[in-house]
């Protein structure tokens, strides 16, 4: 295997046995129906489709962000009907530089399932290996997966408010630099970042083909930043931050926590401080 969390297209194709469950996690923030449409057009044989909005997220509210965590019972039910058992090997893939696959990888860890692999390079790597696709959907199954939340892997808005000046804490903003700097905000109503956060865009974890960079390069990403012993990672809505948590794990830093609501939750509270300040002058950007 490439890495404890990664699997190549050839390795996935060579897997045999009935205790492997494959999930297609392709999605588009701009078009919530795109993932399902792409799945119907063709997917890896045996793969189930997971929808970012309904399977990998919970219902939206006034606060909590654009992709709240799914309810444990609902998530358990979805995994079971796809045949996930407590000892199943789960393989996740997407076509967006691991964003959807890393979300499922992180969710399964949060809910207590650790036999998970991400297809390195996603569906493009599968196609580059000249491996087949199908339009046939697998039948519902009957797994025994039981989701048990690990609250030690997450923080919420209140926790950050109380700890934002803690020098042992590193807030890592996973969004692109223009959004971090407050120069543009195409999705959320307010631009900027959490006070004191450093920026490490999630796309740098992979190359342009969506393949993860070697472990040494993952280590270099984090060694170049002023990291402390308690990293908390966020993005726009808690999805692409999971790619950075994957990178941290590859680099041997296993104690990162996710702020699931991320920027979309933080900026939903008018009294929360932000950097740069609202309506900053041009010389601050």
139 to 57, 75, 101: CA distances (angstroms): 23, 18, 21
Contact 52, 27 (CB under 8 A): yes
Catalytic residue among 25, 157, 235, 242: 235
Contact 228, 168 (CB under 8 A): yes
Q: Tell me which residue has tokens 């997220």.
A: 57
Residues 6 or more apart in contact with residue 168 via CB below 8 angstroms: 228, 229, 230
Q: What angle do CA 258, 209, 176 make, to 5 degrees?
A: 40
Q: How far apart are CA 117 and CA 124, in angstroms?
A: 16
Contact 153, 181 (CB under 8 A): no
Does 157 participate in catalysis according to the annotation?
A: no
If residue 245 lies in a helix (H) or strand (E), which one and from where to where? helix 241-250
Task: Locate the DSSP E strands across the chain.
Answer: 6-7, 20-24, 48-49, 89-93, 116-119, 169-173, 198-199, 230-234, 257-258
Helix %, strand %, coil % for the chain, to 5? 30, 15, 55
Q: How far apart are CA 39 and CA 210, in angstroms?
A: 19
Q: How far apart are CA 55 and CA 52, in angstroms?
A: 6
The catalytic residues are 235
């Amino acid at each position: 295997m490439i890495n404890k969390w990664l699997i190549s297209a050839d390795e996935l194709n060579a897997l045999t046995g009935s205790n492997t469950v494959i999930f297609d996690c392709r999605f588009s923030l701009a078009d919530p129906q795109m993932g399902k449409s792409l799945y119907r057009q063709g997917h890896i044989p045996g793969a189930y489709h997971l929808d970012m909005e309904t399977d990998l997220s919970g219902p939206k509210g006034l606060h909590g962000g654009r992709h709240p965590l799914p309810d444990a019972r609902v998530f358990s039910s979805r995994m079971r009907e796809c045949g996930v058992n407590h000892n199943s090997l789960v393989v996740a893939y997407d076509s967006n530089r691991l964003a959807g696959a890393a979300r499922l990888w992180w969710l399964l860890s949060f809910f207590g399932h650790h036999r998970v692999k991400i297809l390195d390079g996603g569906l493009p790597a599968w196609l580059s290996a000249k491996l087949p696709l199908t339009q046939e959907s697998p039948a519902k199954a009957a797994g025994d997966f039981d989701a048990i939340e690990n609250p030690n892997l997450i923080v919420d808005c209140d926790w950050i408010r109380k700890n934002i000046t803690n020098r042992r804490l590193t807030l890592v903003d996973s969004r692109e630099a223009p959004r971090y700097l407050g120069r543009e905000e195409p999705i959320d109503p307010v631009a900027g970042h959490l006070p004191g956060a450093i920026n490490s865009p999630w796309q740098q974890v992979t190359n342009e083909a969506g393949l993860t960079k070697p472990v040494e390069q993952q280590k270099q990403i984090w060694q170049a930043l002023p990291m402390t012993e308690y990293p908390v990672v966020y993005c726009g809505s808690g999805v692409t931050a999971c790619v950075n948590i994957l990178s941290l794990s590859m680099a041997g830093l296993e104690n990162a926590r996710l702020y699931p609501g991320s920027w979309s939750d933080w900026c939903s509270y008018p009294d929360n401080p932000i950097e740069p300040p609202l309506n900053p002058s041009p010389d601050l950007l």
